[in-house]
Amino acid sequence: MTDVTHHLAPDLGTTAPAISAPTRRLLDASLVLAPAVYLAVDCSYAVRGWDDGTTAALHIVAAALYGLAAVKLVSLVRGWPQAILLVVALLGVVGNAGVGENTLHVSLGGNDLFDADGRANLFKTMGFFFPLTFLVAAVALRRRAATWWPPLLVLGAVLFPAAHVANISWLAIVDGVVMLAALGSCRQALRA
């Protein structure tokens, strides 16, 4: 490779570039910010109803923030579990944002994809990858974490579909508190 081409397309090799300090701080903050915003979303759904458009718009923002938290979790895992978690997390972020978009669509008078069959089943399935992200992360990080942390993350992951599929507001809020506790304590719970 010529010097010019080398600068344009450096050797990617097997080592990943270091994460810059601002990026590291952003990803660390997302472990608190994402579940806190999602807890606010669930509180808003509880007060305004599960088909509220304003809450749905905030839901989409919360899904994006959870995307950052998922990237942080992926960065903490190594080997094949990291690759698996990356795929599950990306599908989960898309599924979670899709649910918010569907609610926004319904609030504007559109059809609800949860009531549709056929191709809409793909949409419904994608949503389950969101809590699966946290199950995979809990299993992948269990040897590096304090003994109480993986079960707490698993509890949040299990409560999520139970609360959100059935639109049980109080359970969604409990789940939000559990996820805030689990992800918010991630850095303290993990051993180097």
Arithmetic mean of pLDDT over the chain = 90
Q: pLDDT at position 118, please?
A: 85
Percent of the chain whose predicted confidence (pLDDT) is above 90: 78
User: What pLDDT is stored for residue 5 in this prediction?
Assistant: 45
- The model's pTM is 0.86
pLDDT reading at 108 higher than 50? yes
The DSSP result for 19-77, as a single string, is: PPHHHHHHHHHHHHHHHHHHHHHHHHHHHH-TT-HHHHHHHHHHHHHHHHHHHHHHHH-
